[in-house]
Amino acid sequence: MSGGYSRDFLRTRLELPSPAATTVLLDYTHFSVRFRVARKLAAIVGVNINGKELVPLAREGSWHLDDRIRQEQQAGPDLYKNNAFDRGHLVRRLDPVWGDAATAKKANQDTFSYTNAAPQIDDFNQGKELWVGLEDHVLGHADAYDAKLSVFTGPVFLEDDPL
């Protein structure tokens, strides 16, 4: 199993960026989250993608809180009720799903942690010409060329955001 994002995954060392804000580092299978407890959301995430070892897994998994962070310090299911927000995976579900079958399955489930989610307007999150289109392009490149990639994503915060 992976210990999270690896800075030595590529030929050139690539550190997971560390924002100025205080964060907690959470390692998952092939990815890591720098989580901002003060905002109840990730500040940034980093994932290693291995196109040569991708495992085709059907979408299965349920969203869950991470027991390493207190429940009240995470933006859980209530944030996404009765509004136009999707639970947007920061690390896309398919990106860390590589390696042997057990590791791929664990990575898939890890992506459903609320610490790896950010509110995204549903049309933006699901739009083939927008977010999912970009995700498809990146993963398609890794798959087509058996490429190793490292990808960083994170939400955009304004000073007056309610979270």
SS3 content of the chain, % helix, strand, coil (to 5): 25, 25, 50
Band (pLDDT 50/70/90 cuts) for residue 157 is confident
The tens digit of pLDDT for each residue in 107-152 reads 999 999 999 999 887 665 555 666 778 888 999 999 999 999 999 9
Half-sphere exposure of 87 toward its Cβ, with a 13 Å CA cutoff? 19
Q: What is the pLDDT of residue 87?
A: 87
Residue 9 has pLDDT above 90, yes or no: yes
Return d(Cα 17, Cα 42) in angstroms, integer: 12
The tens digit of pLDDT for each residue in 68-88 reads 999 999 999 999 898 878 888
The tens digit of pLDDT for each residue in 11-45 reads 999 999 998 889 999 999 999 999 999 999 999 99
Q: Specify whether the backbone of 37 is left (phi greater than 0), alpha (psi in -120 to 50) or beta.
A: alpha
Q: What is the pTM of this model?
A: 0.91
Name the CATH topology of 24-57+73-151: Extracellular Endonuclease; Chain A (3.40.570)
| Structure tokens that stand for 137 in this block | 């392009």
Residue 61 has pLDDT above 80, yes or no: yes
Residue 156 has pLDDT above 60, yes or no: yes
Q: What is the pLDDT of residue 50?
A: 98
Residues β-bridged to residue 90: none
